[in-house]
Structure 1
Amino acid sequence: MENILVEKLNQIAVVTINRPTKLNALNKATIEELHHAFGSLDKDAEVKAIIVIGSGEKAFVAGADISEFADFSAEQGRTLAAKGQELLFDFVQNLATPVIAAVNGFALGGGLELAMSCHFRVASSNAKMGLPEVTLGVIPGYGGTQRLAQLVGKGRAMEMIMTASMIDAETAKNYGLVNHVVPQDELLEFVKGIAAKITNNSSVAIAKAIQAVNANYTDGVNGFEVEIANFGACFATEDFKEGTTAFLEKRKAVFPGK
């Protein structure tokens, strides 16, 4: 891994995008590395939650690496967007392991799209977020037009995309784009605290809940039916047996993750 760092401790993995001289911009190599890292962590039974953050204090991810696609044709552009969504953005959204974005500094273009593909977001007080693609004569291509509208509503998404304006952390919180805003020097520990709460719960049930919530935003899928099916499936798991037994025995559950 040349562009990312991965640390694991107490069932929590921290994935750091480590291209500080490029403000952690996403190039093809970084997207590939993130795909492999998230895939590996998702298969690791010891990892119950993943945090993704940018290195340094300036940026989470300041965008995509424009130099890689400035001379692309229309077909190459379509392939770039499709491949990126397959490898990273859709991949993260549908990961069974919860992924939390710790947005430290700028999250622009592909950076905001990565943060939005995570299951939820926490921002540092100096964070700035936006989708400035129209200033380059292109639109967001990694799910930005879809996920931003889902998170903040159609009108606000239209305004942000059309004006290419950045919003600050408090505005993002008011919009529902991030869940919390904390001082930058407290960001990672704060997010680790949330992740630690997640690790106390059933990873099997959490994976089923992720599927059910995502189903509501998937065309042609009835989210209520997915919820009913996943609710029923939980009854056949060892986690359900442990959780209900622990409750009746008035003790803390120790979930096997099965």
Structure 2
Amino acid sequence: MTQIENIEFKGKSYRTLHINVSNSVVNVSLDNAPVNALSGKMMKELQQLLKDLSEDALIKVIVFESKNSDFFIAHVDINILNEKDVLEDLANDAAEGLNIFQNLGEVLRNQPQITIVKLKGIARGGGAEFVAAADMSFASLEKGKISQCEALMGIIPGGGATQYLSSKMPRGRVLEIILGSDLFDAETAERYGWINRAIKDSEIDAFVSRLAENIASLPEDVMQTVKAVLPPERFTTGFKTENDGWAKLAFTAKVANIMSLAMQNGAQTIDGELKIEEILRRLV
């Protein structure tokens, strides 16, 4: 997979996003070769794009998909700590009480437009949290897969998953997802309430396009009023508890060793990421 050159949109330059506007719908394709790892750069670009779009009253719907047929977002970039300047900017921009990963999810959840994820590949970790934070998510029945695999790395989700999932499904299923760390197929994810719907791969593009266009063409203020009367649930205490638990585990020598071994055994390569749960279980 070849990385894109700079894309210009609203006077800003993007390297990890393709952006296309059709009428009142924006289609955003994630493109961070080779496996769409959620790097600090991608996080910063996503937040910049969402901020600019939030100020555009003509835009009604934002659809997120991936240029990579195998991965929506593989997970947070294991090398993200090397992006010190970007991480400092993200921390400075984060709302009070939120870490940078939780902040990305909350920016997405509080976007004035309707946000839709079209999941055709794999979303793990921070990628799965992004899917859960969107207003709606639809997955390819054949290709869409989702996982919170952080426990295999010796940590817990730290970008909102504990709270988002708890609002979507019973506690037992959340425990299964986080502690089982399995890669869920789209049909099971739908049954659990993790996504809106699993749709045949041959039909998902047309379905999401039609839904986005139908929403965008509603009479003035209908969509905005619906979002106002159905606001996202607030998780202030839960986010603090989640971050405290994540931070307690994330910076230990044991976790650093697991991350290092994962990189040596194929993490963040296409072949390795297709079976990363298997690799991590072997390392653990």
Partner of 2:154 in structure 1? Answer: 137
In structure 2, do the counterparts of structure 1 residues 184 and 57 end up closer, same or farther at CA, with 3 Å as the change threshold? farther
What secondary structure, in the 3-state scheme, does the structure 2 residue paired with 1:8 have?
Answer: strand
What secondary structure, in the 3-state scheme, does the structure 1 residue paired with 2:28 have?
Answer: strand
Contact 1:48 1:203 in 2 (8 A): no
Contact 2:64 2:116 in 1 (8 A): yes
Q: How does 1:9-24 map to 2 (within 5 A)?
A: 9-21=22-34, 23-24=35-36
Partner of 2:249 in structure 1? Answer: none
- Hey, what's the Cα distance between the residues in 2 that align with 1:57 and 1:219? 33
Question: Is residue 61 of structure 1 aligned with residue 77 of structure 2?
Answer: no
Contact 2:101 2:160 in 1 (8 A): no
Contact 1:96 1:206 in 2 (8 A): no
- Hey, what's the Cα distance between the residues in 1 that align with 2:207 and 2:33? 22
Return the offset for 1:175: 1.2
Return the offset for 1:205: 3.5
TM-score by length of 1: 0.76
Question: Is residue 42 of structure 1 aligned with residue 54 of structure 2?
Answer: yes
In structure 2, do the counterparts of structure 1 residues 204 and 14 end up closer, same or farther at CA, with 3 Å as the change threshold? same
In structure 2, do the counterparts of structure 1 residues 134 and 98 end up closer, same or farther at CA, with 3 Å as the change threshold? same
Q: Which runs of 5+ in 1 are unaligned?
A: 221-258
Partner of 2:182 in structure 1? Answer: 165
Question: Is residue 106 of structure 1 aligned with residue 122 of structure 2?
Answer: yes
- Hey, what's the Cα distance between the residues in 1 that align with 2:150 and 2:191? 23
What secondary structure, in the 3-state scheme, does the structure 1 residue paired with 2:221 have?
Answer: helix
Root-mean-square deviation (Å): 2.2
**Aligned partner letter, 1:112:** A
Partner of 1:84 in structure 2? Answer: 101
Return the offset for 1:93: 0.2
* Partner deviation per Cα, 1:4-32 (whole Å, 9 max, x = no partner): 111001211001111141x2111100000
Contact 1:134 1:162 in 2 (8 A): yes
Q: 1:128 aligns with which of 145, 160, 169?
A: 145
* Partner deviation per Cα, 1:136-188 (whole Å, 9 max, x = no partner): 11111110111012112211011110111111000011112222222334323
- Hey, what's the Cα distance between the residues in 2 that align with 1:119 and 1:168? 20
Aligned residues: 211
What secondary structure, in the 3-state scheme, does the structure 1 residue paired with 2:79 have?
Answer: helix
In structure 2, do the counterparts of structure 1 residues 42 and 188 end up closer, same or farther at CA, with 3 Å as the change threshold? farther
- Hey, what's the Cα distance between the residues in 1 that align with 2:185 and 2:133? 19
**Aligned partner letter, 1:89:** G
Return the offset for 1:64: 0.6
- Hey, what's the Cα distance between the residues in 1 that align with 2:192 and 2:235? 24
- Hey, what's the Cα distance between the residues in 2 that align with 1:162 and 1:124? 25
Q: 1:191 aligns with which of 202, 208, 213?
A: 208
Q: Which runs of 5+ in 2 are unaligned?
A: 1-13, 237-284
Partner of 2:135 in structure 1? Answer: 119
Name the larger-Rg structure: 1
- Hey, what's the Cα distance between the residues in 2 that align with 1:167 and 1:210? 29
Return the offset for 1:189: 2.6
TM-score by length of 2: 0.69
Return the offset for 1:45: 2.4
- Hey, what's the Cα distance between the residues in 1 that align with 2:81 and 2:220? 39
